[in-house]
Structure 1
Amino acid sequence: MSGAGPYEEGDGHFEEGGGGDGKNGNEEHGDPGRSPRIPMPRVSVEDSGLPLPTPEQPDKSSAITQLAEPTEPSARPESKGRTVLEHHVLKSLLGAWALAACSAEETAAVEEHLGECGGCAEEALRLRDAVGLLHRPESLDLDPGLRTRVLASCLQRRPPRFPVPDWAAPYDAETARLDALLQDIGDSEWDAPVRLRWFDGEDAASRRTTVAGVIAHLTSVDGLIAVALGLDDPLGDAADGTGDGAGPTPEARTEAYWRSAHLPRAGSVRMPWREQTHALVRTVSVAGGVGGAGETDTDGSDATPDAPPAVSYGDFELPLRDALLDRAFECWIHAEDIAEAVDYPYEPPAPRHLRGMIDLAARMLPGMLAVRRRAGLASPARTRHLVAAGRPGRSLRLEIEGLAGGEWLIPLDSPGAVGSAEHEVAHVALDGVEFCRLAAGHIAPREAAVGQVGDREAIRDVLYAAASLSRM
C-alpha cells in the first residue's frame, strides 16, 4: 500500500482516504491535503477469489425451533439459545392446546405464556370449556329400557283399545327383546352353532343346532299356544304324527319342524316366528281376561269369561296364562344361548317379569317332585298319612334373593298339599337368575351355589326337581 492509503484491487479492502480510481483523493477534489469524504464500494467476496464461508445449519428438531429461527419475524432469539414465540403464534396454538394436540415443547411454551397474558388465559379457559361439551364416542347399542320408556310414554298419551294383559306382558317383552337381537346380527351369524342344554332327569343333555334352528324350535313350540287359541299351526302338515296317545310334545314338534322340507333357512326364519308372536299377543289382548282362574275385571269384580283354553304339552297341560309365562321364560333362555353364540350382550328380564317366571317354577316343583318319586328318582313321601288326613306335610322354604326375590313354601310329600311354616324341614336360598338357569337345565343341581339349612335329602330332591323342569 502507498502511504496515502490508495485502494488496492483484489484484496477487498480500502484505506481511509483512498480514491476509487487508484489516484489520491486530494487530487480528485483539488485539495491534496484532505482525505476523501466517501469511500469507494467494496468488492464482492464472490469476485475476490477467496473461499466462501459455510453457513450454520439451524436445528429443526421441533416445531418450536422451526418457528423460532432468526429469519422468521414471529420469533426472537434470546440468550443461551432459548427461543420465545411471538404472541400471535402462541395465540394461534390455543385451540390445539385445548384439544391436547400440541407437542411437549409447544405445550410448555403455551402454558408459560398463559401465566403472563391475561387475554390468552381467558381464551384458553373458554376453549377448554368448549372441549368439555364434546361427547365421547358411545356404544351404538340401544338402551335395553328404551322400548319400555317409549311405550309407557305413548300409552300415557293414548291408551290402547285392547291393552296387553299383565300376565301376557312378559311374553310380549321377551319376544321383542329377542327380535331386536335377531335384527342386529349378520346373515352369516344365522348359521352360528348353538348348543341347546337341558336336564333329562338324571344328567345333563344337549343338542347341537344353529341360530336359525333355535328360532325354528321356538316357532314350533309356540305353535302349541297358537293351536289352543284357534290360530294356524306353523308346522302345517308336518304336525301329523308328532305325538303319541298323550299328544304332541315340544321335542317331537321341534324334530318334525327341523325335518320338514319347508323349514326356512337362515334369516328367513325370523319373520314367521315374529308374525306368530304378534298374533298370539294380539289374540289374547282382544280376548281380554281369558288367562286362567282368578282373573278379575279392571273394576275389581270377578270376571266371567268363557273357560280359558288349556295348552297341552303332551304329557301335561298348563293354563293359558302359565303357558305364555313358560314361553317367555324359554324365549329368554334361548335368547341367551343365541347371544352367547354370536358374542352379543344380553340382560336378564325385568324384575317384575322375572318374578313371575320364578313363581311359575316354584308352583310346578311339587308336581315334578311327584313325577320323580314315581320314577324312583326321589326319596319317598314320609308323612303321606298326614296329607291324607288333611294336615300339611313337610315343607321346604325356597328363598329367592335379588330384585325379583321372595319366599315360597314347597310341599314335599304331595302336589296337592299346602306348604306350612310349622312343618318346615329345610331352607334353601338362591339368587333369582341362578334359580332360573337351574330350572332351565343350564346349571347342574350338584353345582348350584346355594345356602342350605336342614334336611339334606329334601334339599337334594328339590334341586333335582327344579332342574327336571327343563326340556329341549
Structure 2
Amino acid sequence: MTNDHDGVRELLAAWAVGALPAADQRTVPPHLTACESCAAEADRLRDTVRLLDGEATPDAAPGAVNGSAGALLALALRARRPRAAEIAHHAAPYAAAVAGLQALVPELEGRWGTPVVHDWDAHATVAHLVAADEHLALRLGVGAVLPASHIPEGTSAGDAWARRTFDVIAHEHGRAPEETVATWAAQAAALLATPEAADPELAARAVTVMGLRLPVADHFVVRAFEAWIHTDDIGRALGLAVPPPPDEHLWSLVRLAVRILGLALHDAPPVRFGVTGPTDTGWILGTDTDPVHAELTLDPVDFCLLVGGRYAPDEVPRTITGDETAARTVLETAASLAWL
C-alpha cells in the first residue's frame, strides 16, 4: 500500500485499466481528489484506455451464442473493437488485437502457470508482449515502463532482443500476473495515444525496430500480428478457440507479410502465390527474369500462422501446382520469417 505522491503516480496506469492492487484501492482515489496533476494524468490514461473499448457489434446481443466458455469468449473478442474515429486505419488492427487479449485475460484467473509456447507460461507470454511492444513504444517517445537491461554494445539485434525478453519475463515473474497485465495494457494504450497512431502522414516515417526498418504504420501492423498470435497461443493452451482478426485487419497482416516475403525471395524461382478470400488475391514472388515455376495457394489465417511460426512448412494446408521445389522454397522462407 502506498500514499505518497510518486507512489500513487506509478499506480495510475493500473488504475486506468482497472487492475489496481487491492491494497491500494482505498488510497489512489482519495489522492486523485486532492492532487490536480495526478488527476489530470489519470484522466489522460483513462481516456486512452477507452480507445480499446468498442461498441458491441449487432450480433453481440444476449442469447446470440450458447453459454459455453468458448462461445462467450468468441463473443467478447468480436464485440471489443476499437473506436475507429480515434485511431487511423493502420493502428486499428493493433487496437483490436489488444482488446482481444484483454477479453481473454479473465479466463486466465487461477491458470497463469499454464504452459503456452516456447518455455513460457501464460504469465511469461504477456510479459513477452510487454518487451515486444516496448521497442516501438520507445521509438515513438513512450516512456519506459520497466527497468532497462544491460546489453553490451555491439550485440546483434537478435541477441539483444532475446536478452531483453528474458530479462522482462524474469522481472515480471517477480510480480503478480495482474500487475504484468496492467503494465502491458497501459503501454499498449500509450502506443495508441501517440500522434503516429492517429496520423497516417506521421506514421509514414520509417524507423528501425528490432532490426527491421519499416514505416511506423507497418510496425503497428507487426504489433497487431504478434498480439493476435500470442492471444491465439494462450487460447489454445486453455482449450478455447480464439477467432481470427476481422477480415480487414487480417488482410493488413497478410499484405505486410507478403511484402516482406517478397523481399526475401527476390532471386528465387518465381511462384504465383495466392491467398484465398472473398476475392482471391495473388502475387508473383521471386525473380522477374524467369517464367512462373509453380502456383501456391493458402488460406489467409493459415498463411499468417505459418509466418508466425505456428505451422511447419510441410504441415500447413496448401494447394500446389507445378514445381513442388519452388513452392516449398516459398513455404520455408515464410516460416523462416517467424520471430514470435
Report the TM-score when normalising by structure 2: 0.72
SS at match of 1:213: helix
The residue number in structure 2 matching 1:43 is none
Which residue identity does 1:406 align to in structure 2?
T
CA distance in 2 between partners of 1:231 and 1:409 (Å):
39
Question: 1:179 and 1:290, CA in 2 relative to 1: closer, same or farther beyond 3 A?
Answer: same
Cα deviation, residue 309, structure 1: 4.6
Which residue identity does 2:203 align to in structure 1?
G
Structure having greater relative contact order (Cα 8 Å, sep ≥ 6): 2
Q: How many corresponding residue pairs?
A: 271
The alignment status of 1:176 with 2:73, answered yes or no, reads no
More helix by share: 2
The residue number in structure 2 matching 1:241 is 151
Which residue identity does 2:283 align to in structure 1?
W
Question: 1:291 and 1:433, CA in 2 relative to 1: closer, same or farther beyond 3 A?
Answer: same
The alignment status of 1:328 with 2:227, answered yes or no, reads no
Question: 1:222 and 1:405, CA in 2 relative to 1: closer, same or farther beyond 3 A?
Answer: farther
Q: Does the Cα contact within 8 Å between 2:295 and 2:320 map onto a contact in 1?
A: yes
Cα deviation, residue 340, structure 1: 1.4
Question: 1:463 and 1:236, CA in 2 relative to 1: closer, same or farther beyond 3 A?
Answer: same
The residue number in structure 1 matching 2:202 is 290
Question: 1:311 and 1:183, CA in 2 relative to 1: closer, same or farther beyond 3 A?
Answer: farther
Rg larger for:
1
Aligned pairs (5 A) from 1:302-451:
308-314=205-211, 316-369=212-265, 381=267, 395-403=270-278, 405-410=280-285, 412-413=286-287, 423-451=291-319
Cα deviation, residue 136, structure 1: 11
Which residue identity does 1:174 align to in structure 2?
A
CA distance in 2 between partners of 1:451 and 1:217 (Å):
34
SS at match of 1:464: helix
The residue number in structure 2 matching 1:276 is 187
Question: 1:350 and 1:396, CA in 2 relative to 1: closer, same or farther beyond 3 A?
Answer: same
Q: Does the Cα contact within 8 Å between 1:351 and 1:404 map onto a contact in 2?
A: no
CA distance in 1 between partners of 2:101 and 2:334 (Å):
25
Residue-by-residue CA offset, 1:125-159 (whole Å, 9 max, x unaligned): xxxxxxxxxx89942724543334xx66xx7xxxx
Q: Does the Cα contact within 8 Å between 1:212 and 1:267 map onto a contact in 2?
A: no
Which residue identity does 1:215 align to in structure 2?
V
Match for residue 67 of structure 2 among 127, 139, 145: 139
Match for residue 167 of structure 1 among 61, 70, 90: 90
SS at match of 1:441: coil
Cα deviation, residue 407, structure 1: 1.2
CA distance in 2 between partners of 1:363 and 1:174 (Å):
21
Cα deviation, residue 246, structure 1: 4.2
Unaligned stretches of 5+ in structure 2?
Answer: 1-62
SS at match of 1:250: helix
Residue-by-residue CA offset, 1:44-88 (whole Å, 9 max, x unaligned): xxxxxxxxxxxxxxxxxxxxxxxxxxxxxxxxxxxxxxxxxxxxx
Cα deviation, residue 334, structure 1: 0.7
The alignment status of 1:191 with 2:113, answered yes or no, reads yes
Q: Does the Cα contact within 8 Å between 2:80 and 2:100 map onto a contact in 1?
A: no
CA distance in 2 between partners of 1:288 and 1:359 (Å):
17
SS at match of 1:424: coil
Q: Does the Cα contact within 8 Å between 1:193 and 1:208 map onto a contact in 2?
A: yes
CA distance in 2 between partners of 1:214 and 1:267 (Å):
13
The alignment status of 1:220 with 2:165, answered yes or no, reads no
Q: Does the Cα contact within 8 Å between 1:224 and 1:311 map onto a contact in 2?
A: no
Unaligned stretches of 5+ in structure 1?
Answer: 1-134, 196-206, 293-307, 371-380, 383-393, 414-418
Q: Does the Cα contact within 8 Å between 1:172 and 1:281 map onto a contact in 2?
A: yes
| Greater alpha carbon shift after TM alignment, 216-225 vs 259-268 | 259-268
The residue number in structure 2 matching 1:46 is none
CA distance in 2 between partners of 1:287 and 1:172 (Å):
15
CA distance in 1 between partners of 2:155 and 2:220 (Å):
24
The residue number in structure 1 matching 2:167 is 256
Which residue identity does 2:227 align to in structure 1?
C
Which residue identity does 1:467 align to in structure 2?
A
SS at match of 1:225: helix
Cα deviation, residue 266, structure 1: 2.3
Cα deviation, residue 232, structure 1: 1.7
Instruction: Report sequence identity in percent.
Output: 28
SS at match of 2:293: strand
CA distance in 1 between partners of 2:181 and 2:162 (Å):
20
Q: What is the RMSD computed on CA atoms of the aligned residues?
A: 2.7
Q: Does the Cα contact within 8 Å between 1:242 and 1:252 map onto a contact in 2?
A: no
Q: Does the Cα contact within 8 Å between 2:123 and 2:173 map onto a contact in 1?
A: no
